[in-house]
Structures are given as structure tokens and as C-alpha cells.
């Protein structure tokens, strides 16, 4: 096995265990891993931003194909740095104004298209279906999301939840019934989504544990076992110390 893989195995195992130790309680090992993680991720972002933005989006297009128009966003970006000069800080507003303006403009038609029209289109379906040989029929199948019964249920659900989000209408009288139906639908959906997500999250844990099992292999020098011992030892020593401190404080 190459030496960098072995060192990598030790580092990865150590960091994994240090992060997991946070489940027990906050401790120096977790703090080390946490701060190292923040540091590495910021470093990683800086390098990646440098590589994509400065090298690939600015330098190369300007030098190689002469896209001088790219100096405009560079200028706007620089405006943002005026924040460091208190007197000129207001200039940075131009950059924000541009970003937010573009963002809002882009959002309007696209939101209408994919989140309003598309959702209406999917909800508005005929309640009765034309079944060949049987003529116009009402289909009862629950498992087919396009069946008549499900079309009605979806329509009720969408309407009731939409009504729940009316803010300028008091939820009283018949409105109360509709709003309550809406809440029930909301709760079922939240419960279902929660239950559905459990599997994906467990898969992640399984992935981490599989890695740890792999790194307990002698070819890596069994880092999992050694480092697990070290982590537990640290936690024990630490809790001894803090309980010692506490008794002192209490005295």
C-alpha cells in the first residue's frame, strides 16, 4: 500500500472519530477537528475560487480571446471592497443593487413558469377518465397517482393548504374547517418526509462506519482501533478533570 494512503487512512480515521466525539460532549478533540475543518474548507474555497474565477473566468478569456468586457464585473467586484473605506462605503451599494436587481429579474418569470404554472398544470386534471372499452369512468386505484380518486385528494390537499396560507382572512366558521384540513395535510406530509429521509441519513452513517471498519485493517496499521482508544482516553481524562474542577468551584 502506498505510504500516502496509509497516512491518509490515519488522518481520515482520526478526523472522523474526533467529529463523532462531539456526540458525547463538546471536547478539545472536536474543537481541533472543527477548526481544522473550517480552515481547510476556507482554504479549499479560496484555491477553487482563484482557479475558476481569477484564472479561468477572468485571466484566460482576457488574455487569450480578448474579452475585455469582463473588466466590468471586475470593476463591480472592486466596488464592493470600498466597504473598507468608511467614507466611500456607500459605493459598495452599487454592487449590491446590481446583484439583487439581476437576481430579482431572473426570478420572476422563472418562478411563474416552474413553480406556479407547472404546479397548476399538474394539479388541474380531469376527474373522470376515458377508459377504452368502458367509456368515461371514475378510477379508484390509490397506487396510480393519476387516478380519479387521487386527483380529487390532491385537489383537496392543495386547496386546503393554500387556504391555510391566507393571512388577511380570519380562520373561523367554515374557514376553520378548511384551515384545519390544511394543517392535517401539512402534518402528514412533514411526517412522511421525515420518515422518508431517515434512510438517506442512515446510509451516510453506514458509509462512515464502513470506512472505519476498512481502516481497522492491519494493512493500514489499524488506525481505527488505536485512534478510538486515544479518543476514549481523552474523553475520560477530560471528564475526570472537569469534575475535579467543578468540585473545587463548589467549595
Partner 1 sequence: MIFLRRQLPLLITLIAGLVFAAQYYVPHPASEQMLTSVTKWLQIISGFALVLGVSSLFHVHAAKIRRKEAGWGYSFILYVGMLGTIAVGLWSNGKEAVDGASTAFGWVYNYMMVPLQGTMFAILAFFIASAAYRSFRARSREAAVLLIAAVIVMMGRVPLGEHLIPISGDLSQWILNVLNASVRRAILIGVSLGTVALSIKIIFGIERSYLGGGKE
Partner 2 sequence: MKRETLNVKRGKGDKSCLAALLIAALLSLFDSPVSAETALLPLQDVRAFDTPSDGGGSLTILWSSAPYDSAIMKYQILLGEETALSDPAAMKVVAEFPADQHYVHDSKWPWWTRPTTRDQHQFTLRNGKGIALKDWTAYTIAVAAVLNDDRVIARPVQATPQPNWVNWNQMNNFLLMLLFGGIVFYAIGTARKREIFLRRIPGLDAVDEAIGRATELGKPILYLTGAHDMTDPSTIAAAVILGRVAKRAAGYETDLLVPHRDPITMAVCHEITKQAYLEAGKPDLFKDDANFFITSDQFSYTAAVDGIMLRKKPATNFFMGYYFAEALLLTETGASTGAIQIAGTDADHQLPFFVTTCDYTLIGEELFAASAYLSREPVQVGTLRGQDIGKAFILGVLGVGTILATLGVILDAQWPHFFLDIFKDTK
Partner 3 sequence: MTFTERMLKIDRRIIFLVIGLCTLLPLLYPVGFPIRISPEVRGVYDHIELLPEGSVFLLSLDFDPASKPELQPQSIALLHHAFRKNLRVVAMTLWVSGTGLADQIVTQVAREMGKENGRDYVFLGWSPGGTAVIINMGQNLYGAFPTDYNGKPTRELPVLHGVNNLRDVNYAVSLGAGNPGVEAWYVFGKDKYKFELGGGCTGVMAPGLYPLLRSGQINGLIGGLRGAAEYEELIGQKGHAIAGMDAQSATHMAIIVLVIMCNLFYLSLRTAARQGQSGA
Cα–Cα distances (Å) from 151 to 126, 159, 208, in that order, read: 8, 12, 42
Considering only residues 49-78, where is the footprint of partner 3 by CB under 8 A?
none
Report the nearest approach of partner 3 to the CB of residue 222 (Å): 15
DSSP H stretches of helix in 50-173: 60-65, 71-80, 92-111, 118-123, 148-164
Q: In the set 15, 62, 149, 186, which binds partner 2 (CB under 8 A)? A: 186
User: 129 in helix, strand or coil?
Assistant: strand
Query: How far apart, in whole angstroms, are the C-alpha atoms of residue 134 and residue 140?
Result: 14
Contact flag: residue 23 with partner 3 (CB under 8 A): yes
User: 4 in helix, strand or coil?
Assistant: helix
Which residues does residue 131 pair with via DSSP β-bridges, in sequence order?
135
Q: In the set 13, 92, 216, 224, which binds partner 2 (CB under 8 A)? A: 92
Judged by CB, which is closer to partner 1: 65, or 135?
A: 65
Contact flag: residue 149 with partner 2 (CB under 8 A): no
Tell me which of partner 2, partner 1, partner 3, none is bound by residue 244, counting a contact when its beta carbon lies within the kind-specific cut-off of 5 to 8 angstroms.
Answer: none
Locate 86 and state its grid cell: 468608511
Stretch that binds partner 3, among 76-84, 141-149, 162-170, 207-215 (CB under 8 A): 207-215
Q: In the set 11, 54, 85, 107, which binds partner 2 (CB under 8 A)? A: 107
Report the nearest approach of partner 1 to the CB of residue 34 (Å): 8
Query: How far apart, in whole angstroms, are the C-alpha atoms of residue 181 and residue 234?
Result: 53
Cβ contacts of residue 238 below 8 Å, gap of 6+? 27, 28
User: 117 in helix, strand or coil?
Assistant: helix
Task: Give me the residues that bind partner 2 (CB under 8 A), please.
Answer: 19, 22, 26, 30-31, 33-34, 37-38, 40-42, 44-45, 80, 83, 92, 96, 99-100, 102-104, 106-109, 112-114, 116-118, 120-121, 123-132, 136, 144, 146, 151, 155, 158-159, 162-163, 165-171, 186, 189-191, 193-194, 197
Amino acid at each position: 500500500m502506498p505510504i500516502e494512503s496509509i497516512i491518509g487512512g490515519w488522518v481520515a480515521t482520526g478526523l472522523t472519530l474526533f467529529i463523532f466525539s462531539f456526540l458525547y460532549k463538546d471536547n478539545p478533540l472536536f474543537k481541533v477537528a472543527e477548526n481544522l475543518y473550517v480552515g481547510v474548507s476556507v482554504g479549499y474555497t479560496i484555491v477553487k475560487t482563484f482557479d475558476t474565477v481569477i484564472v479561468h473566468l477572468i485571466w484566460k478569456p482576457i488574455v487569450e480571446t480578448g474579452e475585455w468586457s469582463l473588466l466590468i464585473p471586475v470593476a463591480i467586484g472592486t466596488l464592493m471592497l470600498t466597504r473598507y473605506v468608511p467614507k466611500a462605503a456607500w459605493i459598495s451599494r452599487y454592487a449590491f443593487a446590481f446583484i439583487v436587481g439581476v437576481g430579482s429579474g431572473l426570478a420572476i418569470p422563472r418562478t411563474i413558469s416552474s413553480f406556479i404554472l407547472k404546479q397548476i398544470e399538474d394539479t388541474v386534471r380531469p376527474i373522470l377518465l376515458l377508459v377504452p372499452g368502458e367509456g368515461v369512468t371514475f378510477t379508484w386505484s390509490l397506487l396510480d397517482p393519476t387516478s380519479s380518486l387521487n386527483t380529487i385528494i390532491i385537489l383537496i390537499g392543495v386547496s386546503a393548504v393554500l387556504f391555510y396560507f391566507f393571512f388577511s382572512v380570519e380562520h373561523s366558521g367554515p374557514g376553520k374547517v378548511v384551515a384545519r384540513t390544511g394543517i392535517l395535510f401539512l402534518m402528514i406530509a412533514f411526517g412522511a418526509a421525515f420518515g422518508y429521509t431517515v434512510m438517506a441519513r442512515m446510509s451516510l452513517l453506514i458509509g462512515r462506519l464502513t470506512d472505519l471498519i476498512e481502516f481497522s485493517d492491519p494493512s493500514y496499521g489499524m488506525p481505527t482501533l488505536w485512534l478510538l482508544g486515544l479518543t476514549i482516553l481523552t474523553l475520560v481524562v477530560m471528564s475526570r478533570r472537569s469534575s475535579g474542577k467543578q468540585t473545587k468551584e463548589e467549595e
